[in-house]
Amino acid sequence: MEKKGVAAIASSVVVALLAGILLGGTVARPPPVTITAQVTIAKTVTVAETIVEIPIRHQPVVYAAEAQTTCIFIVENPPPGNATMPPCTKAVTIKLWLRQLGTEESYIAMDKVTVVAPGLEARGTVEGKPLDFKNRVVVPPRTRSEMTVTVPVRDLASFINWLRDVGGISVEIRFEDYNGNEKGSVQVESIPVYERSWKYTNSTEADPRG
């Protein structure tokens, strides 16, 4: 019985192989296995941003400015009586009004103010109020400050041509904190120049000292 069973199994395998050859010429194989990979996507959690406003400590601004022609009289030896005064040295006086938008006082040293205009000296005489013990202009919060800058004309022709072409002058002010650390600068541009002590319109003068 055992030999007959083995023979029967062998014959059935031969029949299967013959059937495969007859059907397709090759042994039938099982279909390929498809593997599906499962990917877990992490969730993106958006955390609400908290905006913290940091106040600015030093931010002086110039809210008004004007300039006018003026004269500088250099008198080394005052003449007696009603003697003739020395000739006028042409100059420009610039007035600036400042406010503090920051939370702390800002300070402007006299040598930190620069006038930008061809024909004018870059530095001049600076006055202002209020002043601290270092003779710096103070720009405190909740009030205003004033500055006056007087610069001589070194090249009248260049200055007149600049005013005719551009129409104004510029000033750069560098400010610092109480300890003298520079904190930034303020640019004031296109300041109009009014004729007061001398006229530059229709002028043909070329002598920088008038």
Is 133 within a domain?
yes
Higher pLDDT, 20 or 135: 135
Q: What are phi and psi of 159, to 5 degrees?
A: -65, -45
pLDDT mean over 104-129: 95
Task: Give a yes or no: residue 20 inside a domain.
Answer: no
In the predicted model, what is the mean pLDDT of the chain? Answer: 78
Question: Does residue 54 sit within a domain?
Answer: no
Write down the pLDDT at residue 136.
97
Does 21 have pLDDT greater than 80?
A: no
Span 88-101, mean pLDDT? 94
Cα–Cα distance between 151 and 195 in angstroms, integer? 15
C-alpha span between 16 and 88 (Å, rounded): 127
Higher-scoring residue by pLDDT: 119, 48: 119
Q: Say what the pLDDT of residue 174 is.
A: 95
Q: Specify the number of domains making up the chain.
A: 1
Q: Judge whether 186 lies within some domain.
A: yes
Residue 205 inside a domain? The answer is no
Local structure of residue 74 (DSSP, 8 states) = -
Residue 204 lies in a domain: no
140: in domain:
yes
CATH code, domain with 97: 2.60.40
Q: Considering the entire predicted model, what is its pTM?
A: 0.67
Kindly list the distances between the CA atom of residue 113 and the CA atoms of 16, 27, 110, 200, in Å, as whole numbers in the listed order: 106, 99, 6, 24
More confident residue, 204 or 74: 74
Domain carrying residue 173: 60-77+86-194
Whether residue 26 lies inside any domain: the answer is: no
Is the alpha carbon torsion for 8, 14, 17, 23 positive or negative?
A: negative
**Model confidence over 124-164: pLDDT tens digits?**
999 999 999 999 999 999 889 999 999 999 999 999 999 98
